C-alpha cells in the first residue's frame, strides 16, 4: 500500500486499474478526460492489459460498455454532464439488460447556460435509469468506491451497472493524499469477474433485449430490476465489511459525522459535504450540537439508515446541490418521502439550494443554515426553501444586465 497525492481523476484511474478492467470504451469530455488519458497511457506502456476503444459519442460508448459487459468481461468507462445526458437512452437500456459495469461520472452543471463547474443535476438526471449510484466526497472514496461498485455490480443478487460520482474541480482536479492498495490485496477483495450465465458471443447469437407487448411482462422485468437494486444495499454493507477487513477503511451507505448526540443535522451529497464537516467542527466548538449525514449510496436509497440516524433529531438542513425547476431540491424530496408517515416523531426539514454550477458555500453560510434550522424547529414551521445567493452576487448580475441593456439600445433592439 502506498500513500500518494492523487487527483479525483487520478484516483478513478487507479480504481479502474486495480479492478483489473479489461475493456474501456471512451469518449472525452471536461472534466473527465484525464481519467481515460491516464488509463490510455498505462495501456500504452504495457502496465495494464486492457482493450481501449474510442467511440463516436457517449451514446455509442455506453452501448459498447453494456455490450462488452454481457460477454463477461470487466468493463469501465467514464463521462460527465452533457455526455451523460447524451448517453441517457443507453443508460436505461443497458441497465435493463442487467449488464454489470462501472461508469464514473464527473459531475458538472448542465446547459443552458453552459458551465464547466460542478453540481448534481447531471447525475440526478440518471437517478431513475436503473444504474446504482455512489456519491463520493474525497479522492480516496473515488478509488475505494470503484472497487466496491464492482462487487455490487457483479453480485448475483444485483447484476446491475453502477455509476460512481465525483464532483468536477473540487475532486477531479484536486489532489489529496490517497492510499493506493497493493494489487494483490485488491485481487483478494475483488476476484476476477465471475460471469455466470453471461456469455454474449457473435458466434452464438442471443438477444439481451426482449421486446414485450403489454404491461404485464413489462411490469415483471421492471420490478425485478427494482428488487435487484434494493438488494444492492445489503450487498454494499457486506462488501464494506470485507473492504474494511482487507484495507482498514470502513464505509457505510450513509456516512454519519458527529451525529449521535446532534440536535441539528446537515444532509448533503458529494465533496461539499466535507465543507459541512469543517462547519460542524466549528459549530461544536461554539457549543452547538450539530452533525452531518451524507448518503454515499443514493441508489438504492438508504431510507432505513437515514430514518434511524435522524430519529429524535430536532432539525435537518437538507442542502441540495441541484435544482428540479418547478419543485426544488431533489434530496430534500427524497428524504421527506423517507421520513413521512413514520411512527417516530420526525425532525423539522428545511430545504436549502446551494453550490449550483460550483458556486461556493462559505463557512458562514453553514452556520446560518444551522441557525435558520434551529429557529424553524423551535417554531414548528419550516421556512420557504432558500437559495444560497448573496446581495453582492445579485449586484454583479444587475451590472451585467445594465451593460446588456445599453448594448441593446445601441443596436436599436427592444
Partner 1 sequence: MYRIRFHGRGGQGMKTASRILGTAFFNEGFEVQDAPRYGAERRGAPIFAYVRAARRAIYERGVIRHPDLVIVADETLVAMPAAAVLQGVDAHCVVLIHSREPAPVWQHRLNLAGPVVILPLAEEREDRLALRQIGTACAAAAARLVGVVAWTALEQALRDELAALGDALVEANLGPARRVYDFLSPQQGCVAPGPVVAAEGYVRPDWVELAFEDARVSAPAIHAALTSEQVQTGQWRTLRPVIDCARCKGCWWVCSTFCPDGAIQVDESGRPRIDYAHCKGCMVCAAQCPHHAIEAIPEQDAPPAEDERGAK
- Residue 292 CB, shortest distance to partner 1, in Å, is 10
Nearer to partner 1, 363 or 378 (CB): 363
CB atoms near residue 112 (< 10 Å): 5
Nearer to partner 1, 8 or 67 (CB): 8
- Residue 368 CB, shortest distance to partner 1, in Å, is 5
Beta-carbon contacts of 411 under 8 Å, excluding residues fewer than 6 positions away, are none
- Residue 48 CB, shortest distance to partner 1, in Å, is 18
CA–CA distance, 58 with 295 (Å, rounded to integer): 27
Residues of this chain that interact with partner 1 (CB under 8 A) are 5, 7, 30, 112-113, 116, 169-170, 173-177, 271-272, 274-275, 277-279, 281-283, 285-286, 288, 358, 360, 362-365, 367-368, 370, 386-392, 394, 401, 404, 407-408, 410-411, 413-414
**What region does 8 belong to: left with phi over 0, alpha with psi -120 to 50, or beta?**
alpha
Computed over its alpha carbons, how large is the radius of gyration of the chain? 22
- Residue 216 CB, shortest distance to partner 1, in Å, is 45
Nearer to partner 1, 314 or 346 (CB): 314
Nearer to partner 1, 53 or 274 (CB): 274
CA–CA distance, 339 with 264 (Å, rounded to integer): 16
CA–CA distance, 394 with 303 (Å, rounded to integer): 37
CA–CA distance, 249 with 263 (Å, rounded to integer): 28
Nearer to partner 1, 57 or 405 (CB): 405
Nearer to partner 1, 260 or 285 (CB): 285
Q: Between 363-379 and 272-285, two packed helices, what is the crossing angle to 10 degrees?
A: 70
- Residue 240 CB, shortest distance to partner 1, in Å, is 20
- Residue 378 CB, shortest distance to partner 1, in Å, is 18
Nearer to partner 1, 21 or 388 (CB): 388
CA–CA distance, 351 with 203 (Å, rounded to integer): 55
Three-class secondary structure assignment of 12-67: HHHHHHHCCCCEEEECCCCCCHHHHHHHHHHHHCCCCCCEEEECCCHHHHHHHHHH
- Residue 284 CB, shortest distance to partner 1, in Å, is 8
- Residue 259 CB, shortest distance to partner 1, in Å, is 16
Nearer to partner 1, 133 or 138 (CB): 138
Element (H, E) at 235: helix 215-247
Q: All 3 cell numbers of residue 274? A: 466535507
Amino acid at each position: 500500500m502506498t500513500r500518494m497525492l492523487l487527483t479525483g481523476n487520478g484516483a478513478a484511474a487507479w480504481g479502474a486499474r486495480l479492478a483489473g478492467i479489461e475493456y474501456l470504451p471512451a469518449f472525452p469530455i471536461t472534466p473527465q478526460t484525464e481519467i481515460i488519458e491516464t488509463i490510455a497511457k498505462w495501456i500504452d506502456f504495457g502496465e495494464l492489459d486492457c482493450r481501449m476503444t474510442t467511440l463516436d459519442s457517449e451514446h455509442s460508448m455506453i452501448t459498447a460498455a453494456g455490450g462488452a459487459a454481457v460477454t463477461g468481461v470487466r468493463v469501465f468507462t467514464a463521462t460527465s454532464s452533457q455526455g451523460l445526458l447524451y448517453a441517457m437512452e443507453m443508460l436505461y437500456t443497458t441497465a435493463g439488460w442487467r449488464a454489470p459495469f462501472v461508469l464514473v461520472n464527473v459531475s458538472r452543471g448542465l446547459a443552458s447556460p453552459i458551465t464547466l463547474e460542478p453540481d448534481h443535476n447531471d447525475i440526478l438526471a440518471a437517478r431513475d435509469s436503473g444504474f446504482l449510484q455512489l456519491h463520493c466526497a474525497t479522492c480516496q472514496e473515488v478509488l475505494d468506491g470503484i472497487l466496491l461498485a464492482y462487487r455490487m455490480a457483479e453480485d448475483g443478487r444485483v447484476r446491475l451497472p453502477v455509476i460512481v460520482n465525483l464532483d468536477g474541480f473540487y475532486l477531479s482536479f484536486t489532489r489529496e493524499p490517497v492510499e493506493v492498495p497493493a494489487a494483490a490485496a485488491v485481487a483478494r477483495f475483488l476476484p476476477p469477474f465471475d460471469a455466470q450465465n453471461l456469455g454474449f458471443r457473435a458466434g452464438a447469437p442471443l438477444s439481451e433485449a426482449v421486446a414485450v407487448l403489454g404491461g404485464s411482462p413489462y411490469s415483471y422485468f421492471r420490478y425485478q430490476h427494482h428488487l435487484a437494486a434494493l438488494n444492492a444495499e445489503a450487498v454494499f454493507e457486506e462488501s464494506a465489511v470485507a473492504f474494511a477487513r482487507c484495507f482498514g477503511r470502513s464505509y457505510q451507505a450513509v456516512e454519519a459525522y458527529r451525529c449521535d448526540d446532534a440536535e441539528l443535522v446537515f444532509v448533503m451529497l458529494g465533496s461539499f459535504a466535507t465543507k459541512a464537516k469543517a462547519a460542524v467542527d466549528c459549530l461544536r466548538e461554539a457549543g452547538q450540537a450539530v452533525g452531518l449525514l451524507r448518503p454515499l449510496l443514493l441508489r438504492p436509497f438508504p431510507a432505513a439508515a437515514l430514518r434511524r440516524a435522524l430519529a429524535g433529531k430536532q432539525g435537518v438542513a437538507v442542502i441540495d446541490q441541484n435544482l428540479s425547476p418547478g419543485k426544488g431540491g431533489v434530496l430534500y424530496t427524497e428524504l421527506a418521502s423517507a421520513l413521512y408517515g413514520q411512527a417516530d416523531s420526525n425532525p423539522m426539514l428545511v430545504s436549502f439550494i446551494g453550490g449550483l454550477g460550483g458556486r461556493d458555500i462559505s463557512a458562514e453560510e453553514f452556520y446560518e443554515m444551522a441557525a435558520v434550522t434551529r429557529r424553524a424547529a423551535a417554531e414548528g414551521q419550516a421556512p420557504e426553501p432558500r437559495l444560497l445567493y448573496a446581495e453582492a452576487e445579485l449586484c454583479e448580475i444587475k451590472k451585467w444586465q445594465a451593460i446588456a441593456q445599453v448594448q441593446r439600445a445601441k443596436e436599436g433592439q427592444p
